């Protein structure tokens, strides 16, 4: 996690842009949540805890959406009744619960609410779980812990089908990602190394030493250009590397910690955005002294230049990278840093910190919502947002079984990995650009979601005019 500044007027300014979109589900955890991942094709969530436990959880998204919508209507009626009686709605004991809240660690078989359930849970690692990731189909789940072991499990049953032996890893794994078109599992470590494993055998294929001088904080695949190329951030640098050839280029020292990286459009990888410790994403100041710990593409053609960011102040922001402006905020939890962002199978935003996780609605909200909606934060603490000062108005716009391991006895090795396929070099040497904050009105585009995995559909001829080539400056 990056640093967290005290709650400032920049948080108050965020209330100006606060979205009417609500969560449909909140999960709270007794133990710190260290990692989570959303299934690519089903309403499933995998969570990894500090205790080494892994939970697979399912949710009925349609029923949760309907519940939230019904509660919204009840609340609007309550507000009207309160206004007629000239009393504060929040003083009424009839205020409906806005969305459902569950604690996976306290769920049991006697729970009758079917909108959320535990599929399986297990003590997967001896130390804490550091990374959790599905493969592109969602059939398998990969987890890594401080025991320096990577395990591959069946997502449906939780049964371990394969695990690594004694790895040539001298530090803990911090981040893992998979690649849509190749059997690659790419892992970064606390010492700045990159390891690449074959997902079919969990044998190590490649190793890149000291890609960063410190911990690898985030990795993004460049499958839109080449399945062998990636960018990563760690310490104060960004690196562009090919797992077969090594580091292609490294940015200059940015004099600020780089915590997260993502592509605005993962299918062409022309523009990368980087979250920094001082509240900046690639020159765009979005929060004063609150680190940007997570960034992710919206994967939406209707907001093709936009990304989601999660900060240590507990606020999710939607940023238009072309205009260099925050256009929407969502209050996750002002007492919990946002360390993780993901999209579920139906493109709902998921935000999470160490204490809780929220799945946000993807339904269109009414534009004529009552102004009283913005009285308080949507998180359970209901902390009020103060009025915005004139100075900050300008700042915000510019700137299987419980307690036992369900492993299979089989640890036989699959066939040896074939030699890496040769890749055409015409596009592989052109690295991504990093977004600039120059303001320009975006061109309207049709409202159509981007597929989560759309490999090899390049747009190499349409170079982003606001990028900064070769990472000369972030």
Which tens digit of pLDDT belongs to each residue from 209-220? 999 999 999 999
The whole-number average pLDDT for the span 177-193 is 95
Two tokens, residue 181: 């078109």
Out of 60-64, 106-110, 184-188, 360-364, least confident range: 106-110
Q: How many whole angstroms separate alpha carbon 138 and alpha carbon 31? A: 26
Residue 13 is predicted with a pLDDT of 55
| Cβ atoms of 371 and 22 closer than 8 Å | no
Q: Which fold has domain 165-255?
A: Lipocalin (2.40.128)
Where in the chain do CATH 2.40.128.630 domains reside? 165-255
Two tokens, residue 49: 């805890």
- pLDDT band of 23, cuts 50, 70, 90: very high
The residues with which 59 forms a beta bridge, in sequence order, are 116
For tokens 């509240």, name the residue: 279
Q: How many whole angstroms separate alpha carbon 324 and alpha carbon 183? A: 36
Which tens digit of pLDDT belongs to each residue from 137-181? 999 999 999 999 999 999 999 999 999 976 767 789 999 999 999
Q: How many whole angstroms separate alpha carbon 278 and alpha carbon 262? A: 18
Better-scored residue on pLDDT, 56 or 367 = 56
Tell whether the model's pLDDT for residue 10 goes beyond 70: no
DSSP string, 56-69: EEEE-HHHHHHHHH
Q: How many residues in the chain?
A: 474
Q: How many whole angstroms separate alpha carbon 80 and alpha carbon 89? A: 9
Q: How many whole angstroms separate alpha carbon 422 and alpha carbon 385? A: 55
Better-scored residue on pLDDT, 302 or 240 = 240
The whole-number average pLDDT for the span 105-115 is 85
Neighbours of 202 (CB within 10 A): 22
Which tens digit of pLDDT belongs to each residue from 365-401? 655 454 444 444 433 443 433 333 344 444 444 444 4
């Amino acid at each position: 996690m990056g640093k967290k500044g005290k709650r400032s007027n920049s948080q108050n300014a965020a209330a100006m842009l606060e979205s009417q979109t609500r969560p449909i589900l909140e999960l709270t955890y007794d133990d710190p949540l260290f990692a989570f991942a959303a299934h690519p094709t089903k309403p499933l969530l995998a969570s990894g805890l500090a205790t080494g436990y892994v939970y697979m959880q399912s949710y009925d998204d349609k029923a949760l959406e309907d519940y939230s919508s019904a509660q919204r209507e009840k609340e609007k009626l309550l507000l009207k009744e309160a206004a007629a009686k000239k009393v504060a709605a929040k003083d009424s004991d009839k205020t409906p619960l806005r969305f459902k809240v569950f604690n996976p660690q306290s769920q049991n078989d006697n729970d009758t609410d079917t909108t959320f359930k535990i599929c399986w849970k297990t003590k997967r690692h001896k130390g804490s779980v550091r990374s959790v990731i599905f493969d592109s189909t969602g059939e398998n789940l990969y987890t890594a812990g401080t025991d320096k072991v990577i395990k591959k499990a069946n997502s449906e049953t939780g049964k371990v089908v394969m695990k690594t032996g004694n790895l040539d890893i001298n530090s803990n794994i911090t981040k893992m990602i998979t690649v849509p078109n190749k059997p690659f599992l790419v892992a970064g470590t606390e010492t700045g190394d990159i390891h690449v494993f074959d997902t079919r055998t969990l044998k190590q294929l490649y190793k890149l030493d000291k890609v960063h001088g410190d911990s690898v904080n985030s990795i993004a695949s460049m499958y839109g250009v080449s399945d062998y190329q990636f960018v990563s951030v760690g310490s104060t640098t960004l690196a562009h590397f090919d797992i077969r050839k090594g580091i292609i280029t490294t940015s200059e020292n940015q004099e600020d910690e780089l915590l997260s990286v993502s592509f605005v459009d993962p299918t062409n990888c022309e523009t990368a955005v980087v979250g920094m410790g001082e509240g900046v994403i690639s020159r765009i100041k979005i929060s004063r002294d609150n680190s940007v710990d997570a960034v992710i593409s919206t994967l939406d053609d209707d907001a093709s230049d936009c990304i989601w960011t999660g900060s240590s102040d507990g606020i999710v922001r939607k940023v238009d990278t072309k205009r260099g402006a925050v256009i929407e905020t969502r209050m996750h939890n002002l007492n919990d840093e946002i360390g993780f962002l993901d999209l579920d199978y139906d493109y709902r935003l998921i935000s999470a910190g160490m204490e809780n996780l929220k799945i946000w609605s993807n339904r269109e909200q009414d534009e004529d919502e009552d102004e009283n909606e913005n009285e308080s934060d949507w998180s359970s603490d209901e902390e009020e947002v103060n009025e915005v000062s004139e100075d900050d108005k300008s700042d915000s716009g510019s700137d299987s079984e419980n307690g036992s391991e369900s492993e299979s006895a089989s640890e036989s090795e699959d066939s040896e990995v074939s030699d890496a396929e040769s890749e055409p070099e015409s596009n592989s040497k052109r690295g991504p650009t990093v977004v600039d904050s120059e303001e320009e009105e975006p061109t309207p585009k049709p409202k159509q979601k981007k597929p989560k995995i759309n490999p090899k559909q390049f747009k190499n001829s349409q170079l982003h005019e606001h990028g900064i080539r070769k990472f000369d400056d972030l």
